Amino acid sequence: SPHPKGGARPSALSMGNNSTPSKATPMQPQIKKDVNNRLKSTEGHIRGIQRMVEDDVYCVDIMKQIKAVQGALDRINAMILDSHLQTCVTQAIRSDDKEEQEKTLHEVVELFNAAHKLR
């Protein structure tokens, strides 16, 4: 179904199956800035790929650029995962809330399982 602000609704994977912890830790400002800068750069790269398609550029060249974007997204994902492990997961493990600990560890396992399925 469509997202309320227009466009496609994010998938269950991207939304974490609505499993946002009740005490989410904000991303560190420098990490957030780096992630946003990389996302903006990737967005520009994707727009360039769209132009390549419109201009009937050789398919292999388009696929190479798509692969480069996928690599960039993988690196962004790794940055976010690293931040998550250092903040949210560490916070949950150190807490006295056993339910939050289990929920957070389950989320991490789901992330790794989902990543493995994509390969």
> What does residue 104 show for φ and ψ, rounded to 5 degrees?
-65, -45
Helix (H, G, I), strand (E, B) or coil at 32: helix
Residues 6 or more apart whose Cβ sits within 8 Å of residue 53: 62
The Cα-based distances of 31 to 8, 37, 74, 75 in angstroms read 27, 10, 15, 13
Q: Answer yes or no: pTM beyond 0.75.
A: no
Q: For every one of its 119 residues, what pLDDT tens digit does the chain have, with 9 covering 90 and above?
A: 343 444 443 443 444 444 555 556 788 999 999 999 999 999 999 999 999 999 999 999 999 999 999 999 999 999 999 999 899 888 888 989 999 889 988 998 998 888 777 66
Task: Give the Cα separation of 86 and 4 in Å (integer).
Answer: 32
